[in-house]
Structure 1
Amino acid sequence: MTDMPVYMHFIYAALSTVGFSVFFNAPVASLIPAGITGGVGWAIYFYLMTTTSNSILSNFVAALVVSLFSEILARKLRHPAILFVIPGIIPLVPGLGMYNTMLFLVQKNYDMAISTGADVLFVGGAIALGVLVITSLARTISIFKIKKKLNSQ
């Protein structure tokens, strides 16, 4: 990756997350929490990537954390969780892998294109699965709370 310290990765990821939040017209009050969410997610990804070199696991765990933070912030700040999830996972999106896949296709290097493209698809699936697991868990807990409340009345 790079020789930058983890805190620099956090700062740059947080700034990019805030930038995408502004681009998506998020409320001003949600910009800093969204930035922290994206920064923490990227820092976790970076740490796991440097220790395990497994991009799929690193993206999955980072997406889990981003989604968990987003659900917590949604409850605390009374905003939809998607205000924090979408900008928070933007730093995790494998843009270089997508670019390299297309470059290998244009260069007619089909073996590398298939290899890189498959990795990109698995990473994208890991990110989606990480968000799906936490979102489903949060909704299940909400449903049980509502049922418990209705049964007690």
Structure 2
Amino acid sequence: MYYLTQFLIATFAAMGFAFYFNCPKKAIITSCLFAGIAWTIFKFTLIKTNNYFLAGLYSAFILGLLGEFAARKLKNPATVFIIPGLTPMVPGAGVYYSMYYLINENSKLAQESALETFFIASSLAVGLVASLSVIKVIKTFKYNS
């Protein structure tokens, strides 16, 4: 039940960003479902491994693959599916708390929060780059065969 609740919250949260970014109407539901899937993978991996980097890496990798396949199927740019899907995982609260602790001169907590935020953000970037690389390799083999 916990993961279903997380999935629904992330899906509806991404819907607001999909409308804000003016996603095409036929892609909104798909991009929101991808956000829910990616967030659920993030939470599941985080609970099982207690590692933010792995959680972000796996979820961004799956989101990138889903976004690329949906882009080809629905004939839209992949960013239409990836950007709203990333929004639940972006570590905005981590940046806020890092600055909050820094302003309140609690350097130890500021450093911990900033490091955790950096790991989440970098894992999302690495996961997306890895998925795009896999897609590029698949396309290369497909068209060169």
Is the structural similarity TM-score above 0.5? yes
Match of 2:102 in 1: 105
Quick one: which of 121, 124, 127 aligns to 1:124?
121
CA displacement 1:72-123 (0-9 Å, x = unmatched): 1111111111101111011011111111100011001112211211111111
Match of 2:9 in 1: 12
| C-alpha distance in structure 2 between counterparts of 1:125 and 1:49, whole Å | 16
Instruction: Please state how far the C-alpha of 1:141 moved relative to its aligned partner.
Output: 2.4
The percentage of aligned residue pairs carrying the same residue is 31
Instruction: Please state how far the C-alpha of 1:20 moved relative to its aligned partner.
Output: 0.7
| C-alpha distance in structure 2 between counterparts of 1:64 and 1:137, whole Å | 10
- Higher-Rg structure is 1
RMSD, matched Cα: 1.3
| C-alpha distance in structure 1 between counterparts of 2:124 and 2:37, whole Å | 15
Structure 1 unmatched runs, 5+: 149-153
Structure 2 unmatched runs, 5+: none
| C-alpha distance in structure 2 between counterparts of 1:139 and 1:18, whole Å | 29
| Displaced runs of 4 or more, over 4 A | none
Tell me the secondary structure at the aligned position of residue 77 of structure 2. coil
| C-alpha distance in structure 2 between counterparts of 1:50 and 1:145, whole Å | 37
Count of residue pairs the alignment pairs up: 145
Native 8 Å contact 2:61 2:128 kept in 1: yes
